Amino acid sequence: MEWAMTELLRHPNKLRRVTEELDAIIGDQTSVEESHLPRLPYLEAVLKETFRIHPPAPLLFPHMSSETTIVAGYTIPKNSNIFFNVWAIQRDAEFWEDPLRFEPERFLKDTEKRNYTGNSFHFFPFGSGRRICVGIPLAEKIMMQILATLLHCFEWELPNGRKPDVKEKLQLVLSKAEPLVVVPVARLSNLMQYE
């Protein structure tokens, strides 16, 4: 959530496009509901692009080889711990045009190859195969619902006109080195929405 807000605040034109989509689908008289989510393709693209650039677990969780095998000319001994650097893979210029640029539109073009199912080996922020994260559908809906609500109800400003930074801190998960601090400003005309 924090990374998505950071990227949107760094790219006001992308933020404007999300709020225009929210206004067109939801309007300013109703709250964001789960039934709205499938009709918000740009917001979904923003989340996917956020997960591409800032994957939650950059090295995923380790896998262990059950037998000695050779992969791409490398011998992997039995019981080796194997880490997948999804952070590097999802920023690889061989697979992504201008990989460091926040460009949600890339997920609008080829939606079948760019989903969370782990079938695309250049976009798998939640893993792949039998050990893919089982919480993806729940997390995706919750993230979209919360982000849609925050962006629909408020305009967001940075204190003192600062720009958000994208310095990362790697622990078990990828977090911001400096937390995002923003100020909400009501944007809906119906003040009953805020009660």
Q: Does residue 69 form part of some domain?
A: no
Q: Does residue 75 form part of some domain?
A: no
Q: Does residue 102 form part of some domain?
A: yes
pLDDT tens digit at each of 195 positions of the chain? 999 999 999 999 999 999 999 999 998 778 899 999 999 999 999 999 999 999 988 888 888 889 999 988 999 999 999 888 889 999 999 989 999 999 999 999 876 667 777 677 788 888 887 778 888 888 889 999 999 999 999 999 988 878 888 888 877 788 888 889 999 988 877 766 666
pLDDT of 12: 94
Count of residues for the chain? 195
Q: Does residue 28 form part of some domain?
A: yes
Cα separation of 143 and 150, whole Å?
A: 11
pLDDT of 111: 64
Q: Does residue 71 form part of some domain?
A: no
Q: CATH number for the domain including 137? A: 1.10.630.10
pLDDT of 193: 65
- Number of domains making up the chain: 1
pLDDT of 90: 92
pLDDT of 161: 76
Q: What does the DSSP assignment read for 104-161? A: TTHHHH-TTTSSTTS-STT--TT--GGGS-TTHHHHHHHHHHHHHHHHHHEEEE-GGG
Q: Does residue 42 form part of some domain?
A: yes
pLDDT of 112: 63
Q: Does residue 67 form part of some domain?
A: no
C-alpha of 180 from chain center:
16
Angle, helix 41-53 to helix 12-25, in steps of 10 degrees: 150
Q: Does residue 140 form part of some domain?
A: yes
pLDDT of 70: 92
The reply, when asked if residue 153 is annotated as ligand binding, is no
What residue numbers bound the domain in which 10 lies? 2-58+85-194
